[in-house]
Chains A and B, each alone.
Chain A
């Protein structure tokens, strides 16, 4: 949307004032932040629940901005009736050699901070939701006009954000104009900003943000929040990280310069690796933001959703906190969460936030949606529109499959990519072989593998199968129809009858090893 000055019709009352104010009848200090003006101390209310209100910053070319000019359109404070609420728009034109459209929201946010520095003036909320109260005390001390408010705010803008070379304010209290400007100018711009956010990717920014809030109970956990990877607890987006890091650069959310790109597809950066190493106390040294198997992001236990690898189908399932039933791997969310939390890198499990499903880079190194085979119906419906059309119906829910066997059956029926081999969209590379199909009337598989001898893996470099294997073993056995051990002291005997077997790999480990293999 084109940025231009707001047109003020000739028949609307307006007052203009140019230049800096020498003195203000109110104190200006961060001390006043959070000051609440109670109803019975209030002179007037602007915006709020009763009246429309919004704030908007527009970046304009330098020659279109008249520095330190204020235009008040509609009734000013002195013409307002005590105790009443009025519509309110605060529009700022800003210019400067570094001022671009992208900076508008960043500057706009500060209106809240700066106006809260003003004694007797309460500013709450943002965008089209603003709510202002002006105290009787401020009026008594000599506040007469919104011009004074605007000038004080502009002064703060220029002092605190020196890249603003010119600033001009238009404050509107005239009802129809507030409505009209809100609908025709401000709303489309807010929408446009949100759309830009969706389009913002890891490669478009120089910094990611960390979060170490959860180190109190998961001391090695470091969350990295990037535009394409919102936090696993679902609470923090890259924008939230940025906002928090600006307010408190040494706080729990800090800027993490990306550094050099190491692995574009996995999402690995030198800056992130260094940061993770340091903050985890050396617990781990590498993190790939968009990888499931290799150097996955740690999980502190706060994740909204947990992903789990099912070797039997060579696919990944996801289950959210609200789903109490066991997933097809036999484990409920709570059990998997217990094993995965604690700030360690656990290959085979990954904690994420629901909003990561929206990401264009959603576990892209490992095939993203094309590697996803199962999720609860609830969750699938919530994120359905982010699932590519050609795989959406191939992802099973509990209505299609509750066990690994049912899942296999389903995936085969719909010909899910994992059956024939997953081609990851990001670079067109085939990353899995698909199921090796063996059809035999009866087959006896006997095997007992003692240590970390990984079965021939589809992605030797990416899978670190030991941990999930060990965890999943006891639960997979029943699905393989393992009868009670029939021989004393021996290995494990698997008898599988009338089965079509699609085995990616099996690692069976006996807890106390006396003998190895054989009958």
Chain B
């Protein structure tokens, strides 16, 4: 199992990168896609209609738990999640975490959820998690850790300072990750590329690639079409494929590592 968390400042292209990684890796791997951004838009980028969010199931649990008698609550949650929250796309499964919890005590619900997710996740070869910069689900332990963290950044100061913060945060949270990477995205010129390279050097974060600004992405966005429809032989797509292979291998037992 390889768990990859894709994070970064809002609007930098986390979802675009996640969606393409999911799209390419799911061809050869048993894959779970997790949308851990409360403003979830991964399903749209993947062209998948999501079902209930984990958050919604947790709310149902909160109101029905008194009526459960001697029923086993973990089993109840597991059943609901498997039946109503996991969306089966053609090549992968999708789980949307949804909004954070409301008022009241969620300690027990979350503790059960952690158990269910841990058991569920270990059956996939690859898990790609699209998550906001605060890494909320990691800090709460709903998702127990990640092998690789990919920070997506644009050329902006803010994008880079967020990247720095994420690096610190992910060490504090003891996610036990093997490596943290940087990916530049929507880079329009050589200057942008230089800024990012310099930043990566300074911070000692390995730079996976600097992805260009891409007209096709903009067009798909305007038409409201899923990003995974993009021409997979385009320069952009080829570069993401390389990143995928770099992290996971090509599914035939070959791994560039």
Contact = CB atoms under 8 A, between A and B. Distances in A.
A193 B70 contact: yes
B69 A197 contact: yes
B82 interface: yes
Contacts of B75: 109, 112, 124-126
Given A36-B82, A36-B93, A302-B107, A125 B76 contact: yes
B229 interface: no
A435 interface: no
By size class, the interface of chain B is 20 to 34
B104 interface: yes
Nearest to A125: B79
A127 interface: yes
Nearest to B75: A126
A35 B79 CA distance: 12
B76 A235 contact: no
A177 B93 CA distance: 36
Contacts of B76: 125-126
Interface string A215-243: 00000000000000001011111011001
**For A38, A109, A235, A252, which residue has the most chain B Cβ atoms within 10 angstroms?**
A235
B222 interface: no
Interface in A20-65: 33-36, 38-40, 48-49
A321 interface: yes
B105 A304 contact: yes
Given A213-B108, A235-B108, A126 B83 contact: no
Contacts of B120: 34, 36
Contacts of B105: 214, 233-235, 301-304
B119 A38 contact: no
Given A34-B123, A213-B108, A355-B66, A109 B72 contact: yes
**For A125, A127, A301, which residue has the most chain B Cβ atoms within 10 angstroms?**
A125
Nearest to A354: B66
Main secondary structure of the interface of B (DSSP, over half): helix
A234 B73 contact: no
B65 interface: yes
A194 interface: yes
A162 B107 CA distance: 34
B86 interface: yes
B123 A126 contact: no
Contacts of A240: 72-73, 108
B119 A33 contact: yes
Interface string B103-141: 111011101000010111011000000000000000000
A361 to B, nearest CB: 18
B79 A124 contact: yes
B250 interface: no
12 contacts: A38-B93, A105-B70, A125-B79, A131-B79, A194-B70, A197-B70, A233-B107, A234-B65, A240-B72, A252-B111, A301-B105, A302-B107
Given A112-B75, A321-B103, 16 more contacts: A34-B123, A36-B82, A40-B88, A49-B83, A109-B72, A124-B78, A126-B71, A213-B107, A214-B107, A233-B108, A234-B66, A235-B107, A236-B108, A243-B74, A252-B111, A301-B105
